[in-house]
Amino acid sequence: MFKLLRKDAILNGKVLALTYALWSAFWLGYPVLRPGGDASFTAWAVMVALPCAFLPILMIAREDKFKAGALACSLPVTRDAIASSRYVGGWLVALVGAAIAVGAMAIMSAAGMTELAPPTFWLPVAVVVTIGLVVASLLPFTLRFGMSGVLVFLVSAQLAGIVALLVAAMFGGLGGLGTTIRSAVKAVAWMRDALGPAAFSVAAVVAVLFLNLASYRLSVWIYRRREF
Amino acid sequence: MTGLDVENVLEFTGVSKIYEAFALRDVSFSVPPGYIVGLVGPNGAGKTTLMRLAMGLAAAEGGVVRVFGRDPRQAEAAVRARIGFVHDTPAFYDYLSVERVAAIVASFYAAWDASLFHHLLAEFGVPRRARVWSLSHGTRTKFALALALSHHAELLLLDEPTTGLDPVFRDHLLDRLSETIADSRTSVLFSTQIMGDLERVADFIVLIRGGRLMFSGAKDDILDHWAVVRAGAELSAELAAASPRGMATTRRGVEALLDDIASARRRFGDRAVVEKATLEDVFLLCREPQAAPTRYGRETSGLEPGSSARRED
């Protein structure tokens, strides 16, 4: 596992550093250039965590670009180890990206350079949940089908959304769909209130980790079937 | 368990693999320890597929693949630690330098020999600091060969390693392969379309065509006992009745490949040209699948390295 992580660090170190730098400039510049917005620090952190969660895909896509997946699978490592290194490495690059941006923004906020609302207890939970949902959803497709798998997944998700809207409009009106979404949000809010912030946070993080575990199992299963 | 504890380091038994445009069907042959086996066949015959199956990069749909007595898809890490592999189109991380790629690969092998690797780079003329993308196809292959030879692998799987190499280096590489198996613990499965390479170094030949095994056996057996009969068209029927391994019609008549030169001389010597077959003849003419795979290696004959193998059938 460590050797695979080291390999990915060597292969992607420069690209990741460049990406972190460019993205940080954009993310940090956004609230400075648009002062007076009503965005909270937590909402801003979620906005940052979302693209960071796609960084693991960048790493896998780069390996596919050079057709070097066959090289990795020709080394004396198991497919399970490769899949697990993708998850561990993926989480690391996403969390590091989010941590760099959030840390820099915290410094800027403290220095009075932005008008973001101060960070709350929910910030780390929101970041972890955001990254966890994206990683768990996309990595199995990426490992099996490469970048095209991600595109197929995203396009399929969009098409599914369009179909859901059409069906809702035809049979129950869009209000029905809105009611469903609002009900789901209310259910989450009810759980938060019932459990209390601390227990709810732990439950959310544990749920995301279990989702990632299930995603990892699926990835191992399908990656073992990938042929080079 | 070492490679010498098993009868054959690599065994394909009734292996099938089906793709949309190509199918490998019922292929059986083995690679005994301490020998070079040449895998030969035209483009699209299935050579690369067999290499990938042996590496566990693809899964067989039928039959059994065993490397060092184990399934390469199940014991993938343990098996690949003992294999040196050269892909037909070696893929690396192109934007890294040769040294950097080697450092990555080396970390995965407990038996990595850095001094041997640097010696091989110098011997093969691969620049250590060059970016991989700047290497020519031939130099990439040399780099892949240096990587494959630097961890004291017990089995070398070389997929058309001599393609694109200049004749001088090809010659040099073949010498090195011969030296490599001199320890009697290293075996080589070596695919190529260059018959001269096989004549120089191979102990056994495996011919596949269209995904089917045409022949597997000892090279010396072919060169000593097989015959090409060149005759006029009037002998066509008689040659066809002599159970040839392959026949072809030419502008001058017919050519037939027979596996018993003495018998061929007795039957056709006065009416046709009967010559010892070359591997080129076998490659061109052998089109009939072997009825039963030739068995060779430790399980049948207790061959010693360098001796001539005998077929059972």
**Do residue B197 and residue B58 come from a single domain?**
yes
Rounded to the nearest integer, the mean pLDDT of chain B is: 85
Regarding whether B169 and B116 lie in a shared domain, the answer is yes
Residue A80: both structure tokens together:
């399970």
Residue B313 located in a structural domain: no
B139 and B171 fall within a common domain: yes
CB B168 within 8 A of CB B18: no
Q: Residues B221, B250: contact at Cβ < 8 Å?
A: no
The answer to the question of residue B311 being in a domain is no
Lowest mean pLDDT among A145-149, B8-12, B119-123, B126-130: A145-149
Is the predicted pLDDT of residue B245 greater than 70, yes or no? yes
More confidently predicted of A149 and B37: B37
At residue B164, does pLDDT exceed 80? no
Return the higher-pLDDT residue of A67 and B106. B106
In a domain, B151, yes or no: yes
Report strand pairing: B62-67 vs B10-18: antiparallel
Q: Looking at the predicted structure, is the pLDDT value of residue B113 above 50?
A: yes
Residues B92 and B172 in one domain: yes
Q: HSE on the CB side for A104, CA within 13 Å? A: 19
Looking at residues B44-67, what average pLDDT do you find? Answer: 93
- Out of A66, A75, A228, the one facing B108 most closely (by C-beta) is A75
The ipTM of this complex is 0.77
- The verdict on a CB contact (< 8 Å) between B57 and A228 is yes
User: How are beta strands B253-258 and B83-86 bridged, if at all?
Assistant: unpaired
Residue B177 and residue B233 in one domain: no
Q: Under an 8 A CB cutoff, do A76 and B109 touch?
A: yes
B148 and B251 co-located in one domain: no
pLDDT tens for B179-225 read 888 877 899 999 988 888 888 889 999 999 889 998 888 999 888 99
| pLDDT, tens only, A78-115 | 999 999 999 999 999 999 988 888 888 788 777 777 77
Give the per-residue pLDDT at B153: 92
A-chain residue closest to B48, CA distance: A228
Q: What pLDDT shows up at residue B288?
A: 67
Q: B residues 48-107 near A, CB within 8 Å? A: 52, 55-59, 73, 76-81, 85, 87, 91-96, 100, 103-105, 107
CATH number where B182 lies: 3.40.50.300
pLDDT reading at A69 higher than 70: yes
Q: Which residues of A touch B57 (CB under 8 A)?
A: 70, 73-74, 227-228
Share of chain B above pLDDT 90, in %: 45
- Tell me which residue of B85, B106, B149 sits closest to A6, measured CA to CA: B106
All residues of chain B having their beta carbon less than 8 Å from the beta carbon of residue A71 are: 91-93
Which one of A66, A73, A78 has the shortest CB-CB distance to B57?
A73
Q: Does B240 touch chain A (CB under 8 A)?
A: no
Rounded to whole angstroms, the Cα distance separating B195 from B35 reads: 17
Out of B35-39, B260-264, B297-301, pick the least confident: B297-301
- Residue A195 pLDDT class (50, 70, 90 cuts): confident
- Asked if residue B19 is part of any domain, the answer here is yes
Same domain, B61 and B147: yes
Percent of chain A at pLDDT > 90 equals 23
Residue B6 has pLDDT above 70, yes or no: no
pLDDT the model gives residue B312? 35
- Identify whether residues B177 and B54 lie together within a single domain: yes
Helix B114-124 vs helix B137-149: angle between axes, to the nearest 10 degrees? Answer: 150
Name the minimum distance, in Å, from the CA of B78 to any CA of chain A.
7
Contact B53, B60 (CB under 8 A): yes
Same domain, B133 and B267: no
Tokens of A90: 């993926």
Query: If you search the block for the tokens 């749920």, which residue do you land on?
Result: A207
Q: A4-36: per-residue pLDDT in tens?
A: 998 888 888 888 888 888 887 777 776 666 655
- Residue B237 belongs to what domain range? 227-276
CA distance A57 to chain B (A): 17
The H or E element containing residue B17 is strand B10-18
Whether B128 is covered by a domain: the verdict is yes
Domain presence at residue B285: no
Is residue B181 within 8 A of residue B36, CB to CB? The reply is yes
Chain B interface test: which of A14, A74, A82 (most B C-beta within 10 Å): A74
**Which residues of A fall below an 8 Å CB-CB distance to B?**
3, 6-7, 10-11, 63, 66-68, 70-71, 73-79, 81, 224-225, 227-228
Let me know whether B28 and B158 are in one domain: yes
pLDDT in tens, B134-160: 998 888 889 999 999 999 999 999 998
Question: By the CB < 8 Å criterion, does B18 face chain A?
Answer: no
CB contact under 8 A, A70 and B92: no
Asked if residue B121 and residue B54 are part of one domain, the reply reads yes
| Sheet architecture: strand order including B253-258 | B246-250, B253-258, B227-231, B273-276
Lowest-confidence segment of A104-108, A123-127, B228-232, B293-297 by average pLDDT: B293-297
When divided into structural domains, chain B yields a total of 2
How big is the A-B interface in CB pairs under 8 Å? 64
The answer to whether residue B177 is domain-embedded is yes
Contact present, B168 and B123 (Cβ < 8 Å): no
DSSP reduced 3-state for B130:
coil
Work out the minimum CA distance from B101 to partner chain A, whole angstroms.
9
B148 within some domain: yes
Rounded to whole angstroms, the Cα distance separating B185 from B203 reads: 15
Backbone angles phi, psi at A222, to 5 degrees: -80, -30
pLDDT value at residue A174: 67
| Arithmetic mean of pLDDT, A119-128 | 85
In tens, the pLDDT along A169-184 reads: 777 666 667 777 888 8
**Residues of chain A found within 8 Å of residue B109, distances taken between Cβ atoms:** 76
pLDDT recorded at residue B15 = 94
pLDDT at residue number A39:
66
Q: Are B92 and B140 in contact (CB under 8 A)?
A: yes
Q: Do A227 and B85 touch (CB under 8 A)?
A: no
B5 has pLDDT over 60: no
pLDDT score, position B53: 95
CB A142 within 8 A of CB A59: no
Rounded CA separation B127/B98 (Å): 7
Query: Helix and strand tally (H, E) in chain B?
Result: 12, 13
- Residue B126 sits in the same domain as residue B242: no
Reported pTM: 0.81
